[in-house]
């Protein structure tokens, strides 16, 4: 049985039309489809937990936060999850190359493969993609305080602008696998995938199935340093800078000189301190089937070695 968990705050009218086409395509495959619309934070987790013994597949029809909630219930179980690109950023769907077209989504259900995905844990809560501490967390907190339903990239403009001018960088102590690696003013990220908002590759070496988390700490005392860090990150050269710590770790602790906002997978997280580790179970994610290999001249077919 296929269960579709729908976050009504994610997606606009056209995307709801895509949902109707996906539903029809799945039923044309002879699949039994059930739908559930969430009503509050945490609702997706509760529903996914309630169907884990009967579901073959759970389709997350929502943003990255919806996928994270479902993952919290299904990590370590045999139930697969398909993350549809319905939210604003859809970082996970982009990382996994999940298409938005309903027929191609249905094809993944029919012919896709299952990938074993690492899941992180922060202060007892699950996360899939990335944690931001400091500046990043403050932007998400400001946006959440005024959010009223579906958001776009433009929704982030004022929160980012205000945070840029008003942010007071905290002093951080970062311990990675038992070793102190940073004790200064700055901002930090812990990621499980390479992709971040607007195409940034903050955790550029991250792989979702390597059993490691990528820790990135930017030494930053003031706004001018933040601009420089952003420029180097756009060029994907930031791990080479002396003012950036880049480590692959299994466990980390981040403390600050005062409680600092954080974000988990684009949603508001707890204030610091944070204890971060890997979940003992893997999440089964449904991904597109492998692409056929192409030679140097694709129109001639595969070129033998």
pTM above 0.75, yes or no: yes
DSSP 55: -
Q: Which of 22, 96, 109 is nearest to 64 (CA)?
A: 96
Structural contact between residues 41 and 47, judged by C-beta atoms closer than 8 angstroms: no
* CATH class of the domain defined by 125-278: mainly beta
pLDDT computed for residue 169 by the predictor: 84
pLDDT tens per residue across span 224-245: 666 665 655 655 555 545 578 9
Distance CA 161, CA 159 (A): 6
pLDDT tens per residue across span 146-175: 565 555 555 555 555 566 667 788 999 999
Given a cut of 90, is residue 87 above it in pLDDT?
A: no
Q: Is 57 exposed, middle or buried (0-12, 13-18, 19+ CB in 10 A)?
A: buried
Residue 79: HSE in the Cβ half-sphere, 13 Å Cα cutoff: 25
DSSP 153: G
pLDDT computed for residue 118 by the predictor: 95
* Cis before 273? omega within 30: yes
CB atoms within 10 A of CB 54: 10
Q: Which of 146, 136, 242 is nearest to 196 (CA)?
A: 136
Domain boundaries, the chain: 2-111, 125-278
Question: Which residue's entry shows tokens 């792989």?
Answer: 207
Given a cut of 70, is residue 11 above it in pLDDT?
A: no
CATH 3.30.565.10 fits 2-111, yes or no: no
pLDDT computed for residue 280 by the predictor: 92
Q: How far is CA 296 from the centre of its chain?
A: 34
Q: With helix as H, strand as E and coil as C, how does 222-242 read?
A: CHHHHHHHHHHHHCCCHHHCC
Q: Which helix (H) or strand (E) holds 73?
A: helix 64-74
pLDDT computed for residue 8 by the predictor: 87
Q: Which residue has the higher pLDDT, 112 or 294?
A: 112
Structural contact between residues 283 and 112, judged by C-beta atoms closer than 8 angstroms: no
pLDDT above 70 coverage of the chain, percent? 79
Question: Which residue's entry shows tokens 């038992």?
Answer: 178
Given a cut of 50, is residue 251 above it in pLDDT?
A: yes
The mean pLDDT value of the chain amounts to: 84
Distance CA 54, CA 61 (A): 19
């Amino acid at each position: 049985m296929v269960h579709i968990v729908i976050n009504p705050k994610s997606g606009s009218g056209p995307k709801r039309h895509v949902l109707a086409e996906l539903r029809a395509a799945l039923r044309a495959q002879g699949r039994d489809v059930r739908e559930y619309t969430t009503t509050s934070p945490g609702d997706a987790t509760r529903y996914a937990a309630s169907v884990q013994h009967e579901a073959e597949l759970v389709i997350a029809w929502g943003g990255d936060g919806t996928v994270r909630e479902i993952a919290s219930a299904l990590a370590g179980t045999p139930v697969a999850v398909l993350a549809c690109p319905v939210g604003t950023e859809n970082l996970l769907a982009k990382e996994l190359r999940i298409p938005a077209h309903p027929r191609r989504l249905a094809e993944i259900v029919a012919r896709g493969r299952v990938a074993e995905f690492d899941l992180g844990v922060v202060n007892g809560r699950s996360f899939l993609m990335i944690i931001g501490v400091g500046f990043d967390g403050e932007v998400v907190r400001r946006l959440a305080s005024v959010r009223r339903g579906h958001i776009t990239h433009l929704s982030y403009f004022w929160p980012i602008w205000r945070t840029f001018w008003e942010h007071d960088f905290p002093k951080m102590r970062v311990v990675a696998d038992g070793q102190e690696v940073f004790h200064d003013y700055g901002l930090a990220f812990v990621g499980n995938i390479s992709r971040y908002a607007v195409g940034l590759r903050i955790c550029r070496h991250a792989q979702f199935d390597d059993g490691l988390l990528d820790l990135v700490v930017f030494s930053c005392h003031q706004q001018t340093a933040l601009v420089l860090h952003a420029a180097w990150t756009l060029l994907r050269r930031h791990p080479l800078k002396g003012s950036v710590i880049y480590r692959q770790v299994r466990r980390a602790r981040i403390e600050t000189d005062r409680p600092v906002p954080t974000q988990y997978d684009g949603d508001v997280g707890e204030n610091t301190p944070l204890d971060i580790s890997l979940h003992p179970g893997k999440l089964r994610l449904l991904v597109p089937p492998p692409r056929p290999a192409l030679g140097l001249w694709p129109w001639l077919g595969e070129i033998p070695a």
